[in-house]
Amino acid sequence: MIEARSIEFKYDNIPAFLIPDIKVKGGDELLILGNSGTGKTTLLNILGGLLKPLKGEVWIDGNALYDLSGRALDKFRGKNIGIVFQKPHILQALTVSENIALPQFFLGKNEPSLVDVYLKELGIFHKKNDHVDTLSEGEAQRVSLARALANQPKVILADEPTASLDDENAKTVINLLKQQAQKLNAALIIVTHDQRIKEVIANRITLKGEII
C-alpha cells in the first residue's frame, strides 16, 4: 500500500502546484491524468522516493519513505518500488537478462530463476541473451517492465509507459502492467496523458495544474 499525505513541492521560479493526497492499496490501480506541466512526473518522483517534497509524507507499507535517507532510501526503493519510464532506458552495455537482473544486483540479491520467470511472463525469453539494440520499441518497454518487477516490489509506478508505443504495444504493456501488479498484489500507479489507457483503468484522478 502507498499513501501520500499533504505533499507540498515547489520548483524555483515556478509557483507551487496543488498535489492531492493519494492512497492506493495493494492490488489496486490508480491512473493520474493531466496535461503536460501539471506536475504529474514530479508527483511520481516524489512517490518513488526520487524527489524529497518540501512538506508531507509518503508511506509505503507503513514505512515513512522520507524518514529514510542515503543508502537506506536507495535500498528501500530498489526493494519496494518498481518504476517504468516513458522511454525504456535499458542499459546499452548489458544484455536483456543482465538488465533485468540489475535491480537484484544492486540489492545484493541473485535470483536468476526470477529473471527467467519475468522474461517468460512478458514474452521476451527468446531475447534473453541478446543485446539491447536488437530489440523493438515494444520489446524494449517490456524489458524495462521486467526490470521494474525483478525485485517483486510492493508499488509499481509508471510514467507515461505507453507514450512512445503503437496501439497494439500500448495495450499489451498496460495489460501486462495490470496483470503483474495483480499477481504481486502491488499498488499500481500510472501517470499519463495517453487517452488510450483511460478505459482500461477505472480509478483515476486528474491534475489540473492548480496553483496554491
Partner 1 sequence: MTILQLSWKYLKVKPLSTGLNILLLALGLSIITVLILIQDQFENKMNKDAAGVDLVIGAKGSPLQLVLSSVYHIDFPTGNIDMAEAEAVSKNRLIKNTIPMGLGDNYEGHRIVGTNHDYLSLYDVDFSSGKPWEKPFEVILGSKVASQTGFSVGDSFVGSHGIESASHEHDEHPYKVVGILQPKDNVVDQLILTSIESVWYAHDEDVAHEKHEQDVAKTGFPQTEVDREVTSLLVQYRNPIAAVQLPRFINSRSALQAASPSFEISRLFELLGIGISLIQGLALIIIGISGLGIFIALYNSLKERKYDLAVMRSIGASKGQLFLLILLEGLLLTSVGAVFGLMIGHLFVFFLVFTNEQGALSNLRADIFVMQEWWVLGYALMVGILASLIPAWNAYKTDIAKQLTK
Is residue 180 a contact point for partner 1 (CB under 8 A)? no
Of 10, 79, 204, 208, which one interacts with partner 1 (CB under 8 A)? 79
Helices (H), 48-188: 70-80, 96-107, 112-121, 137-149, 167-184
Is residue 74 a contact point for partner 1 (CB under 8 A)? yes
> Restricting to residues 33-62, which ones interact with partner 1 according to CB under 8 A?
41-42, 45, 48, 50-51
CB 17 within 8 A of CB 37: no
CA 142/CA 197 separation, integer angstroms: 17
* Residues 91-130: x where in contact with partner 1 by CB under 8 A, - otherwise, as a string: xxxx---x--xxx-xxx-----------------------
User: What are the φ/ψ torsions at residue 185 (nearest 5 degrees)?
Assistant: 55, 45
CA angle 21, 24, 25 (to 5 degrees): 145
One-letter amino acid at 32 equals I
Is residue 89 a contact point for partner 1 (CB under 8 A)? yes
> CB of 171: closest distance to partner 1 in angstroms?
25
> CB of 159: closest distance to partner 1 in angstroms?
8
Three cell numbers, residue 89: 532506458
Helix, strand or coil for residue 209? coil
Q: Considering the complex, state which of residue 93 and residue 211 has its C-beta at the smaller distance from partner 1.
A: 93
Instruction: Please give the residue ranges that form the binding site for partner 1 (CB under 8 A).
Output: 41-42, 45, 48, 50-51, 70-71, 74-75, 77-79, 83, 85, 89, 91-94, 98, 101-103, 105-107, 147-148, 151
